[in-house]
Structure 1
Amino acid sequence: MSARILLALLPLAAACAALPAQASDAHADPKPAPVAAPARKPLPEGDAMDKLRERLAEKLGATKAAPGNPNVVRVTARPGAEPAPAEKAAERAAHAAAPPPRPARPAPSAHAAHGGHWGYNGPGGPERWGELKPEFAKCSTGTRQSPIDIRDGVRVQLDPVQFSYQPSAFRVLDNGHTIQVNVAAGNSIEVMGRRYELLQFHFHRPSEERIDGRQFDMVAHLVHKDLDGRLAVVAVLLERGSAHPIVQSVWNNLPLEKGDEVGARGTLDLARLLPPEPQRQYFTYMGSLTTPPCSEGVLWMVMKQPVPISPEQIGIFARLYPMNARPVQSAAGRLIKESE
């Protein structure tokens, strides 16, 4: 029972004490009834109880007795009644104990909506690669990143790269970032006393590398790996000119959908993708992958002599990937060697 009801019952209890005692209890002491004052006659039992119920209902804001049972009083809150101080304190305690409402969940940002997918513009562009996933952190924290603008190379007598390429079966993959050509085993290079197996090559437009600030129409990156898992990339610069037969063979087997891989019927003579001998001088430096996760410790060899590619062949790639080149990164004082 609330404090408000208890306070309301106090005057009623006093009123009840003034009423004559009732003989409804069979074990009550048989005392004679007190003599009533001549000026006041005691109320009949029924009238006294009715008066008591009416006064109680008036105090508590109750309705009349329930039909069929005159001893039941229905109590309702009085409209607009001010809660008693004790009730207010109880309400404040209950409100303090209740858990705070959950804040509304913020709408996902454009970056979060990107789902960690990287690209070359927008929320997943190169300036944000390092934030997309923990394993991409090197893209923003690395100190030996690629590509670079190749300047001030130290001219030395470099050993030529020994290419052991042969006609090979190949498969063409549109991986959503570039056109990649996966080649059969058996192609390799040897440089600085190490042998690296060719895994695949792919294209960028425009060239990611620059030489003394000059950027080329496209570039092909030939990715190799040695038995210890170390990577070596040969970059072949492509500039506008005549049609390139190796590039055309790749374009002839382009997948119709991104993510698809098409197995070609013929073979590629990979040596024809390179500049002709003896024009295979190169720049070399230590860098990274130019796409996430931007792993460092990659040996780079950029061929100094570009090879031709026709405007039509450039246009075919541009329809799929108008621009997929990472901006140049700081050389950060790295040693760049240039073959004579």
Structure 2
Amino acid sequence: MLLNRTKDGEHSEPDPLNGTPADHFGVGGASSNVSKTLEIKVEAPHVFRTPEKMEFLVAALITVCVLVSRTDGGETSADWCYHLPKCSDATWPYTATKYCAGKRQSPINIDSSAAEADCSLTAFSFVNFDNKFSLKSITNTGRTVKVGFYRGVKISGGGLSEEYDSLQFHLHWGNGFAVPGSEHTVDRKRYPMELHIVSMKSSYNGNISLAVADSTGLAVLGFFIDVRASGPASEPASWTKLTSYLSKIPTKGDMAGIAPGISLDELLEGVDRTKYYRYLGSLTTPMCNEAVVWTVFKEPIQISRELVSFFLFFWELNSDLCCITKRGTLH
């Protein structure tokens, strides 16, 4: 189903998570967001669309961890963070005024009852998602855990205007199970974690500046991560392998190579990628560029409580490590 509102590897261009003009490709939010939403189920070409305008109300701004970065050179550089009063997300519309006070900010709460089907949203084509040699490195950026890809990982279809080069994925988590960490919510439900695969229009040849200036320059695939029900099923081997690298990157700036043997398809196993929400949104942090085609998949990745807990431990060891921004998703 879909809702419409809307370096790695061997890439030499600025890093889309830590470079200019935006330190973190995700989604950010203003006090209210107005836009169309759609929910799509590809098996039956139905698309659900909300009324022409939909208000996403925010009554609180709650955050879990601190980030410090620089804004785009287009505005005065400013430190920003998640929970300190002087630089929290409540201040972003004033310190990064060009976009953070915009009308299509992310993340959002997805109201499934208001979403409408859109038969223009088709199935995706995933290139090299099955390749066990596509993951190159894992990095502790001081803000998140980022996995870089080798060249050749691509997505197309899914209502996208052209092919996009996939650059990396990163993760968002909270502070234990008491504070779940997904950025998006569905019907106000927040999941323990969220994974974002960041892609850029192939026609831009890695030029980040062009991508963030285009309202559809970036495409982010968002996958919720939930704790699987206890049962006889074995632990997903791909996630066991991936989390084993966390011990190799304990501090900000640490990076480790990833040995062949993990594919994106394996990490996304169990998710029906024909059911997703689609909307046009933004980066989640300053500069909050409104340049993202968001696809949020309905079904979550299922991993064990133990593997989710590894990220809690990692967060405790790295208090400045990025977790989530909840702007735009709270009552």
Find the counterpart in structure 2 of residue 240 from structure 1: 227
Instruction: Give TM-score, length-normalised by structure 2.
Output: 0.59
1:303 to 1:117, Cα distance in 2 relative to 1, 3 A: same
Identity over aligned residues, as a percent? 28
Larger Rg belongs to? 1
1:162 to 113, 118, 125: 125
SS of equivalent to 2:163: strand
1:277 to 1:324, Cα distance in 2 relative to 1, 3 A: closer
**Partners in 2 of 1:258 and 1:291 — Cα distance?**
19
**Partners in 2 of 1:126 and 1:277 — Cα distance?**
31
The code of the aligned residue for 2:139 comes to: L
Q: CA deviation at 1:262?
A: 1.3
Find the counterpart in structure 1 of residue 164 from structure 2: 196
1:119 to 1:259, Cα distance in 2 relative to 1, 3 A: farther
The code of the aligned residue for 2:199 comes to: H
1:180 aligns with 2:174: no
Q: Which has the higher contact order (CA 8 A, sep 6+)?
A: 2
Find the counterpart in structure 2 of residue 326 from structure 1: 325
**Partners in 2 of 1:118 and 1:320 — Cα distance?**
22
1:245 to 1:120, Cα distance in 2 relative to 1, 3 A: farther
**Partners in 1 of 2:100 and 2:271 — Cα distance?**
38
Q: CA deviation at 1:267?
A: 4.0
Q: CA deviation at 1:127?
A: 1.6
Find the counterpart in structure 2 of residue 272 from structure 1: 266
Q: Deviations over 1:64-84 (max 9, x none)?
A: xxxxxxxxxxxxxxxxxxxxx
Correspondence list, 1:35-54, <5 A? none
Find the counterpart in structure 1 of residue 80 from structure 2: 118
Q: CA deviation at 1:271?
A: 1.3
Q: Deviations over 1:89-122 (max 9, x none)?
A: xxxxxxxxxxxxxxxxxxxxxxx9x994433211
The code of the aligned residue for 1:315 comes to: S
SS of equivalent to 2:137: strand
Q: CA deviation at 1:268?
A: 2.4
SS of equivalent to 2:285: coil
Gaps of 5+ in 1: 1-111, 332-340
**Partners in 2 of 1:247 and 1:129 — Cα distance?**
34
- Decide whether the 8 Å contact of 1:178 with 1:321 is kept in 2: no
Find the counterpart in structure 1 of residue 10 from structure 2: none
Find the counterpart in structure 2 of residue 96 from structure 1: none
Q: Deviations over 1:159-194 (max 9, x none)?
A: 012112222132111111111111111111102341
**Partners in 2 of 1:319 and 1:235 — Cα distance?**
23
- Decide whether the 8 Å contact of 1:180 with 1:201 is kept in 2: yes
1:211 to 186, 194, 209: 186
1:145 to 1:306, Cα distance in 2 relative to 1, 3 A: same
Q: Which has the higher helix share?
A: 1
1:290 to 1:189, Cα distance in 2 relative to 1, 3 A: same
**Partners in 2 of 1:235 and 1:261 — Cα distance?**
23
Find the counterpart in structure 2 of residue 101 from structure 1: none
**Partners in 2 of 1:139 and 1:308 — Cα distance?**
34
Find the counterpart in structure 1 of residue 293 from structure 2: 299
Q: CA deviation at 1:210?
A: 0.8
- Decide whether the 8 Å contact of 2:250 with 2:314 is kept in 1: no
**Partners in 2 of 1:240 and 1:138 — Cα distance?**
38
Find the counterpart in structure 1 of residue 200 from structure 2: 225
1:263 aligns with 2:223: no
SS of equivalent to 2:107: coil
Q: CA deviation at 1:126?
A: 1.7
**Partners in 1 of 2:97 and 2:186 — Cα distance?**
27
Q: Deviations over 1:220-273 (max 9, x none)?
A: 000000123310000011001274433332322221211222112334211122
SS of equivalent to 2:239: helix
1:251 aligns with 2:251: no
Find the counterpart in structure 2 of residue 129 from structure 1: 92
